[in-house]
Structure formats: structure tokens, C-alpha cells
Amino acid sequence: MAGALRNLRYQDFSVVDLFCGIGGLTHGFRLEGFKVDAGIDLDPTCQYAYERNNSAKFVCEDLAKLKPSHLRSLFTRRKILVGCAPCQPYSIYTQKTSLEEKKRKHKSRWQLLDSFSELIYNVNPDIVSMENVPQLIHFDRGSIFENFVSSLEKKYTVTYSVVNAKNYGVAQRRTRLILFASKYGPVSLIPPTVGKDSFNTVRQEIGSLPPVEAGIPHPQDRLHRSRKLSQLSLHRIQATAPGGFWRDWPDHLKLRCHKKATGTEFRSVYGRMRWDDVAPTITTCCTGLNNGRFGHPAQDRAITLREAALLQSFPRDYEFLEPDEKLISANLARHIGNAVPVKLARAIAKSIALHIKEISGSKKN
């Protein structure tokens, strides 16, 4: 084995991205010099953005039905398989749902993780990486994640850690589980790339964008648009200080649920960001004031799709839509919120590149 690995370079590997969406994870690997052969996702509306920005093939396929032979055929070099299995069953935003209801409603989602495991076993990639929410570790008493890791350990050395994307230059609090599995030994995620006093801020990411009013798109950037607000919602955001939320409001603006003793459960809604802080986790509902702390730091509106994409560390020139394609805000917000932040993806790719360099014994890669 040692002889076969000597002078192995990351350029000798190709990547296939499962659950690729619009390509956040793929783009991070491409920016780090990896060849990405393909991305696979069930949602056909992701195809344009994925292929346009990544020079890789988009395969519209249900992972639960994907044949291992098809997946193997997509690789052109040694195999690195990466992915971000859908995480809704394990999200903190679904915690109010009973455990039994979660199991019933999301059984198919769990099976996708099983499908991921089966594909790994049958395709036999050299290296695997998975990004997901950290709640997966403990969900259902940890059995789902433990089974996944146990299946990998039959062939691989498995390592995993929980990290915050803000430590890798992403301007948001986004805690994620990063897992690696390698035939060649343990893979370690690179140390944080920014210090605790130098996090990238909301101001640095979106502060230079031109102002827009709620419901009115910028004439030169159709993604730079936020939802139209009712008069009541406008009064509410006007009453919200930077970093604050509904508790800032006078009583006549509060919802009935906020006035109940259980109102403390709704801390993370109708909030406004701070300029010189990181953003909250960008979700699939990130353009709605009532869905989180998604109010603009200074303008009386929720963040725009463009601002959400920048806070997810997508490059400004990333193309999300065909020139004449109708913009469906809910679809694009879902695509952006589901994506792996590009800067976090780069950290994952760098970790794998360093691992390959270490196992090959080469002094440069």
C-alpha cells in the first residue's frame, strides 16, 4: 500500500457530490483544485446553477434508487464521494414535533442516509465526507448515526467533529457535523482559519450592497429583493433594534403567543441582525421576518436572496438562474438555505487534500 500511495496527489482523485443541490459543496472543492465529475440530486431545478458554476455534470436521480454501477461510472479517477444528506428530521427547527411523529413523517429521510451508506459500501470510494446538522449524532438515542458510522468502519477509518462555520470565514453561526472516512487512515479537519476576534461579519458580506425597499427588487439585480411587508410587519421591524427581536416591541405590536408564558420559546423570530456580528443560521426560510432573525441590520425589511447567498459565502458572480428564467423566491431561498457554505466546503476540501499529501509522503502536492 505504501508504495502505491507514494507521490499520490489530490489531482489523482475525482469527486462526486451526492445531494448536491445548487453546488455549494462542489464549488468549494473546485476552488481548492479538485476535479468534480458530477453532482446528484433529485431536484431538477438545481441543474442550471450546479452545471453553470461548476463545469460538472448534474445527474437528476433519486439516491434511494441510484444503482451503484451508475455511480461508479461517473468517476474518472480515484474516488472521493461527498454529500450532505437531507437534515430536516434532525433540525432544531423540528424539535416540537413528537419523536414518534418525526419517525413516521421522516422515515424516508432516514432511509436516504441508509442509501448513502449502501452506496459507499458498494461503490468503494477511497475517501468519503459528509456534512450534516449536529443533532444527527444524538437523534433517536444516537442509533441512526451510530449505525451509519459502524457501517463505514467495516472499510474505513472514521473521524468526525462538530464545528461552527464562522470559524472558517462564513459570516454566520452555523454549527455542523463534519465526517470523514478514509481507507488510508484518519482525516482531520483543518484548524479554524479565522480567530475569535476576526470573524467575517454581516457588514463585510452585505454592507456594500445598494439599499432596497421591501418588495421592490433592485433594477440591476433581481436576486436583490426582499419580501413585501404588511403595514403591521413594517411597524414591527421598525420597532426592532439591531440584535433585538419581538421583545423590543410595544404590547400592541406583539402576537398573542408572545404574551403567554410560553412566549420565551419564540426568541428566534422577528429578529434583526447586527452589522458587526455574524448572521444567524441561514435557513430555507431566510427571507421571512417571522422565520428567524433575518431582519436587515439597518433597512426595514428582511434580507434579500442576494444577501442570503453572500452570507452563505457564495461568490457574487455565482449564477443561480437562467437569464430568462422566472424567479420563484421560495425555491431559490430553499436552494440557498440548504447549501453547504462555500467557505466551509473549502475547509473540507483542504482537509482531504492535506490528508492525501500526508499519506503519499510527498513534500509538495
Supply the DSSP string of 68-106, one letter for each residue: HHHHHHH-SSEEEEEE----GGG-GGGTTS-HHHHHHHT
Please give the DSSP secondary-structure letter assigned to residue 281: -
Residues with Cβ within 8 Å of 327's Cβ and at least 6 positions away in sequence, in order, are 222, 223, 321
Exposed (0-12), middle (13-18) or buried (19+): which is 16, by Cβ within 10 Å? buried
Q: Assign 211 to helix, strand or coil.
A: coil
Closest CA to 36 of 51, 21, 47, 19: 51
d(CA 352, CA 183): 12
What are the backbone angles phi and psi of residue 11, rounded to the nearest 5°? -70, -10
Residues with Cβ within 8 Å of 233's Cβ and at least 6 positions away in sequence, in order, are 289, 290
Exposed e or buried b for every residue in 181-214, given b needs 16+ CB within 10 A?
A: bbebeebebbeeeeeeeebbbbbebbeebeebeb
d(CA 113, CA 129): 13
List strand residue ranges (DSSP E) for 93-236, in order: 127-132, 157-164, 175-182
- Catalytic one of 46, 87, 257, 285: 87
Whether residue 87 lies in the annotated active site:
yes
Beta bridge partners of residue 59, listed in sequence order: 40
Q: Provide the Cα torsion 62, 67, 68, 72; round to 10°.
A: -80
Q: Provide the Cα torsion 133, 191, 155, 345; round to 10°.
A: 50
Catalytic residue numbers read 87
